[in-house]
């Protein structure tokens, strides 16, 4: 027996360093001059004066914190206004705001599943949906990525009375789209419910950024539940479930991440409402995100993207990490996805487009990426 019960942490840390998988925190500064392709600020609204004023006005009116859970003191009139506005925007009957997008997924899945249910989840589903499956107490089956036929087979074999199908609308690592029309057809044929995480779709896909569910003509379907985060296109914090009134009522009664978590802070509510208002007044922002993503893909030499996410596969984790560091050293912030976020051998840079990227910034991006990617791809070719 070891005298240090946590000595195994040092062994794990050393193994991560050797594999190029050690993660570190880097604090930003307000004056940071680098070009940002790493954040999820898709509409470029985090520093918009209207969004900042929306947050400040909410703080002045309600204070800095929600003061309690939503069922006690954590619901304000502003929370309910945001829920109604988001639901109307995406074409849902009702909305329910959670403290984070992660909490929204955990709450929706665990409250709608439970023992005696089957949950079928896409192999590429976000970690929050993966964890929701683990906590659901249901039987869980993983379907091949973007494969409605696989979902059909799994649902046809079920003995459970209830079933849920889980998918992202836009998958965060590659930016590819779920085949929502086919998935909904399959789930409806088997009397199941489809839960779609629109974290990377809301504000980017669909008419005026209403999301991929709306784009596919599925808005408001009674057997479809949408979850989303307010921390990406809406430049704030928090999550939301958008569904029927009876689903909302059930979540208020049964979703543990709603019942036992402090309500979303007023500043985030006010900021999200302001961001939504800006998007409604200028719906072309959503298309500008996709246009800038196409520019980034052309610069990086990869295929035409379907979303704000542009994935540049570099293979080995150390190659991707070093490329991200080289970009950073030259004044360009990019995402770096390594296992376990992506499968072994598929580490990549993830470039995220913003609606407000300028021509000058695109020129800087082209200069830096061309040099860095040429070096990284040369290293990967040698390793291969």
* pLDDT single digits (tens) 254-311: 999 999 999 999 999 999 999 999 999 999 999 999 999 999 999 999 999 999 999 9
12-30 residue pLDDT tens: 999 998 887 888 888 888 7
Q: How confident is the model at residue 1 (pLDDT cuts 50, 70, 90)?
A: low
Decide: 250 and 111 in contact? Cβ < 8 Å. Answer: yes
Start-end ranges of CATH 3.90.1150.10 in the chain? 283-383
Both structure tokens of 358: 């300028």
By percentage, how much of the chain surpasses pLDDT 90?
91
Provide CATH 3.40.640.10 ranges for the chain: 49-281
Q: Taking all residues of the chain, what is their mean pLDDT, rounded to a whole number?
A: 96
Residue 302 burial (CB count, 10 A):
17
As given in the structure block, the two tokens for residue 150 are 């696989």
3-state class (DSSP) for residue 237: coil
Q: Taking the C-alpha atoms of 152, 157, 163 and 168 in order, what is their torsion angle to the nearest 10 degrees?
A: -40
Q: How far is CA 239 from the centre of its chain?
A: 10
The β-bridge relationship of strands 239-243 and 309-315 is unpaired
If pLDDT is split at 50, 70 and 90, which confidence band does 60 have?
very high
Q: Give the pLDDT score at 27.
A: 83
Looking at the predicted structure, is the pLDDT value of residue 248 above 70? yes
Average pLDDT over residues 109-135: 97
C-alpha to C-alpha distance for 290 and 205, rounded to whole angstroms: 8
Which tens digits make up the pLDDT trace of 312-336?
Answer: 999 999 999 999 999 999 999 999 9
Residue 383 scores a pLDDT above 80: no
Distance from the Cα of residue 382 to its chain's centroid? 34
Strand-pair partners of 299? none
Rounded to whole angstroms, the Cα distance separating 75 from 200 reads 26
- Would you state the pLDDT for residue 152? 98
CA distance linking residue 202 with residue 157, whole number of Å: 33
The pLDDT assigned to 87 comes to 98
Which pLDDT band holds residue 340 (cuts at 50, 70, 90)? Answer: confident
Beta strands 347-352 and 224-229, pairing class: unpaired
For the CA atoms of 21, 33, 307, 251, what is the dihedral angle to 10 degrees? 70
Which two tokens mark 281?
């007044």
**pLDDT tens profile 188-239:** 999 999 999 999 999 999 999 999 999 999 999 999 999 999 999 999 999 9
pTM: 0.94
Q: Give the CA distances from residue 377 to residues 262, 312, 349, 384, in Å, rounded to whole numbers and listed in that order.
A: 47, 10, 12, 10
With CA atoms as reference, report the closest residue to 171 among 336, 308, 21: 308
Write the CA distances from 6 to 2, 10, 301, integer angstroms.
9, 8, 45
Task: Select from 3.30.565.10, 3.40.1190.20, 3.40.640.10, 3.40.50.2020 the CATH code of 49-281.
Answer: 3.40.640.10
CB 299 within 8 A of CB 362: yes
Its sign, for the CA torsion 81, 84, 89, 90, is positive
pLDDT of residue 2: 62
* CATH number for the domain formed by residue range(s) 283-383: 3.90.1150.10
User: What per-residue confidence (pLDDT) applies to 33?
Assistant: 67
Q: What is the rounded average pLDDT of the residues 50-77? A: 98
């Amino acid at each position: 027996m070891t005298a240090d019960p946590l000595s195994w942490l040092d062994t794990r840390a050393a193994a991560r360093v050797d594999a190029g998988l050690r993660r570190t925190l880097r604090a930003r500064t307000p004056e940071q001059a680098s070009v940002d392709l790493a954040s999820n600020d898709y509409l470029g609204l985090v520093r918009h004066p209207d969004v900042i004023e929306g947050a400040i006005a909410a703080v002045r009116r309600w204070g800095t914190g929600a003061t309690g859970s939503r069922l006690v003191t954590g619901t304000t009139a502003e929370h309910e206004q945001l829920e109604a506005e988001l639901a109307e925007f995406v074409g849902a009957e009702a909305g329910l705001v959670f403290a984070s997008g992660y909490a929204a997924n955990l709450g929706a899945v665990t409250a709608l599943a439970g023992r005696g249910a089957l949950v079928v989840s896409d192999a590429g589903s976000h970690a929050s949906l993966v964890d929701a499956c683990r906590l659901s107490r249901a039987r869980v089956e993983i379907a091949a990525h973007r494969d409605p036929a696989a979902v059909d087979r799994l649902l046809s074999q079920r003995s459970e009375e209830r079933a849920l199908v889980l998918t992202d609308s836009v998958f965060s690592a590659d930016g590819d789209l779920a085949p929502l029309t086919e998935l909904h057809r399959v789930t409806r044929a088997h009397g199941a419910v489809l839960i779609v995480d629109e974290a990377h779709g809301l504000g980017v896909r669909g008419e005026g950024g209403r999301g991929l569910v709306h784009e596919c003509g599925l808005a408001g379907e009674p057997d479809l539940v949408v979850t989303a985060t307010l921390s990406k296109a809406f430049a704030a914090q928090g999550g939301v479930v958008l569904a029927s009134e009876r689903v909302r009522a059930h979540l208020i009664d049964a979703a543990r991440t709603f019942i036992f978590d402090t309500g979303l802070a007023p500043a985030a509510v006010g900021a999200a409402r302001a961001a939504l208002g800006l998007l409604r007044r200028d719906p072309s922002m959503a298309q500008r995100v996709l246009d800038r993503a196409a520019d980034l893909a052309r610069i990086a030499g990869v295929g035409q993207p379907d979303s704000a996410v542009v994935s540049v596969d570099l293979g080995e984790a150390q190659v991707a990490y070093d490329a991200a560091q080289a970009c950073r050293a030259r004044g360009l912030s990019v995402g770096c996805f390594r296992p376990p976020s992506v499968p072994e051998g598929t580490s990549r840079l993830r470039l995220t487009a913003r609606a407000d990227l300028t021509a000058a910034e695109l020129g800087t991006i082209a200069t830096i990426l061309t040099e860095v990617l040429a070096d990284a791809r040369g290293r990967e070719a040698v390793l291969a």
